[in-house]
Amino acid sequence: MGSEMGNEAAFAEFAEMGGATQSLEFAESFGVSCVTARVGVEVTAFIAIVESRTFLRECIRRSMQSAFSFPVVTYSTLSELERQLGEPSAGVVILSLMEASAEASANALKELSEISPHSPVVVLASRNDADLARTAIRHGAKGYIPVTMGFEVAIEAVRFVMAGGSYAPVDCLLATAQPCVPAAQTNSPSGVLTGRELSVVHAIQQGKSNKVIAYELNMCESTVKVHVRNVMKKLKAKNRTDVAIKAQTAAEHQLAQAAG
């Protein structure tokens, strides 16, 4: 009942954002009242969010609604999604797996693939976990977004998935299975990037200078230069642009391997 009332509020909010006539059949599939259904625009896409906790679910919905021009509707469970989901299919389903284990995540994704087989899925996770990201992609998710990511980047990741792409953070996909790598391995010729090097790579991809990187990562600029040289050596990159390109290529390769 709570999610149904939340969805009615979502459609009302969507209508206030500039809608006119919305199809009654579409609105009723979410338990939205006839009065609310008479306002809004004709909708061909929407975002579905599955999160069991009421406060967090509403926070996610409001944040997403502020960034998209079509409805964002919520469900407390996959069972509720299955009961209410109608036509058309969701443009994307954001599945919150904040505290789920790899096994629970796999089971949830399998269930979701049966409920809404034509909707791309983005997993929302509490941490940047390489194993969980690979598990999610391997079981059909098209995106993996840790809540530690910046809001604007997360929104663009959702847009990218809705456009047919796949997304997971570069530093997550390039990370080793270990949660961290000792600093003594920084100069290792193995080609595996350390956590600090991954942070530097991510900053380089955003076009940041060594001075800015040093400030944001709380290190000396000379240390940043050392990390950049080590990264270039490991990735066999000629310059900073080459670092950014090769890191992204490597991430996409790992994403494809995980999906396969």
Q: Rounded to an integer, what distance in angstroms lies between the CA atom of residue 164 and that of residue 182? A: 38
pLDDT digits (tens, 9 = 90+) for 91-121: 899 999 988 888 888 899 999 998 888 899 9
| Local structure of 84: helix, strand or coil | helix
Which is it for the CA torsion 78, 83, 84, 85, positive or negative?
positive
Cα separation, 248 vs 103, in Å, equals 28
pLDDT higher than 90, residue 2:
no
Global confidence as pTM: 0.58
Domain ranges of the chain: 45-168, 174-259
Higher pLDDT, 260 or 22: 260
Q: Tell me if 45-168 shares its fold with 174-259.
A: no
Least confidently predicted of 110-114, 122-126, 130-134: 130-134
The model's pLDDT over 216-225, given as tens digits with 9 standing for 90+, comes to: 888 889 899 9
**CATH top class, domain 174-259:** mainly alpha
Residues comprising the chain, all counted? 260
Amino acid (1-letter code) at residue 184? A
Query: 142: which DSSP letter?
Result: S
CATH of domain 45-168: 3.40.50.2300
List, for residues 30-58, the tens digit of each pLDDT value: 444 333 333 344 445 789 999 999 999 99
Residues 6+ apart with CB under 8 A from 219: 196
User: Percent of the chain at pLDDT above 90?
Assistant: 23
